[in-house]
Structure 1
Amino acid sequence: TKYLGRALQIDRPVAAKTGTTENWKDVYLAAYTPNLVATFWMGYDEPKMGSIQQGWRYSTVFLREVFLEAFQDLEIVEFEQPEGIVRVSVCNKSGLRPNESCQAAGTVISDYFIEGQVPVEICDMHQGMFYNRPPYIITDERWSRRGGPGRGPEDAKEMLPGDEFGDFAEQWGQTTSEISLFNAYVVQDGVTLQWQYEGTNPKSFELQRTAQGAAGETVNFELEGNTRQYSDTDLAENTIYTYTLAARLADGTLTEPATVYISTSVDAGGSIDTQQPGSGDIVVVPNVTGVFQAIAEMRISRAGLKVGIIEHQYSDTVPNGQVISQIPAPGSSIEKRREVKIVVSKGPETGSF
């Protein structure tokens, strides 16, 4: 990284990256210039001997001395940009092309892309002064040694509307095997829907909105197949809306629909009522077997459930870090905020020396 390159202090173009093993038993540093590559390791033969905290401080000092000696007879060479690589401006929140709101928020950066894979869509996270951040996980008691529970991403603070925007409410939807996330957010000018799709490439998405009560009208929307967010502004206050979302495949069939309920009711003070319908609703347990632990925890949380006990076992068939099994089973219907236990692979058990 740029910071590690500066830490090496060798006064020439250099790229570097550190790494550690579990519990900081080993420290690695790989660094290279246009005319030299070097790697460094420091660790313990026996894990019980100890750990190395902030190992990058030691690895950069050691490797710097090696570089200074080796570079005495080597000329300074700049990195050359390979053919087929282009540099464009993007929003550092969404990774998409910036809009005026991104410029105002100071989130525009320059990044490198393979030619032909440059993002063409415009950022959909910055809408005026509102930052429409994707859902995130709040830390729990498992993070007691790393800042404690109740913490979220720093940029999530930008989502919290001040007096100018009024209140904000979020509702988790009932998902399917293809649509693994379907959430609704009430904002000042309507409802924003976000979803994740993991099925076959869809031709389009069929979104349906139904108003409960006397009005009871149903409105259908056809969205492009690459859409993952939609803002609905033609809504009335004090109304409960039901949204259903299904993917239309190339053969014309529709997938099983996901559903979310959201209310635009306001209290006596004019604030949005955050006690949304469906609290305590039954949700479908997502399938997290065969995916890495971090992804499994994200899917469980996004389904409105909690990550329960995490066990680690050796496995000859499941790669290290991936989920072997889960309880309850995938597809089970349970109440929201219930715990899902997962067993994570430690890889094949190897004999000791």
Structure 2
Amino acid sequence: MKAFIVDRYGRNGRRRNGHGAAALRFGEMPDPDLRDNDVLVQIHAAGVNVLDSKIRNGEFKLILPYRLPLILGNDVAGVVVRVGSKVRSFKPGDEVYARPHQDRIGSFAELIAMNESDVAIKPKTLSMEEAASMPLVGLTAWQALIERAHLKKGQKVFIHAGSGGVGTFAIQLAKHVGAFVATTTSTANVEFVKQLGADVVIDYKKENFEDVLHDYDVVLNSLDNDALQKSVRVLKRGGKLISISGPPDPAFAKDIGANAFVGLVMRLLSLRIRRQARSQDIDYSFLFMQANGEQLREISALIDSGAIRPVVDRVFPFESTNDALAYVEKGRAKGKVVIKIG
């Protein structure tokens, strides 16, 4: 099958995408093996995420020690073509979507095999391209706001980068719960995030969020360490600071079964923010989203009911996958970027 492949990590590859980073190689790879509990999916569309560029550049080598060559891609929508002998939830012909398990990524390809527990039927109201934009950002927002923060009606949540992939979904999910939502964005996207449901919108080019927001229950951080440190000032005592951009903490090291050295590295990386949060009686945690077909089914119901809508900035053809990744790395996409494969 045809696929876009990482041959080696980092920004020093011989082939480049024109933006300083090593390009993915377009080539042939063996069709994936089908295990007893797997579904084999013909991929029609794949979402593109900042996570993809971070994996390609080797930023997650300690957390995700992939063997190279590696097919990149963490969002998928397509049609089931075969099922394993123990699969009971799906059949050939089913239209599905998923965020593959972190050990089995590879949606920048024509085929992918995934455990049926990570897969859900595609929302009926969405095209393949729209569906492919949803799994990673949807599960990230769900696991941060619903599973970890236990966000409730009437609570106040601050979501960084409201016009980005996670932000556009998280705003809608928080409003569905009944929360009061604040976010940041650029001048050009202020009205856009208001239409998604944001109650307070801070133009980061004109104001500092830490000067405006106070006494929030939850902050969802997706930006750099500077924004993370400032986010502590926004929260009230007992609040929750959840970061999807790091630094990873000791609890995460334990969750992934990290060895002593990796655990120590994570402890040191997060020491400053954990101390700062603890001094203000704030709970800091790092979230690395996990595949979960059951949660995707909950998300599908919200989408088909109209509570959440997809936000797709651009759709690139399969052969332009490197261009799509470079576009995402610029950080200016409104919502998600998608690759159309089949």
TM-score using structure 1 length: 0.23
Pair member with larger Rg = 1
Tell which has more relative contact order, 1 or 2 (C-alpha 8 A, sep 6+).
2
More helix by share: 2
TM-score using structure 2 length: 0.24
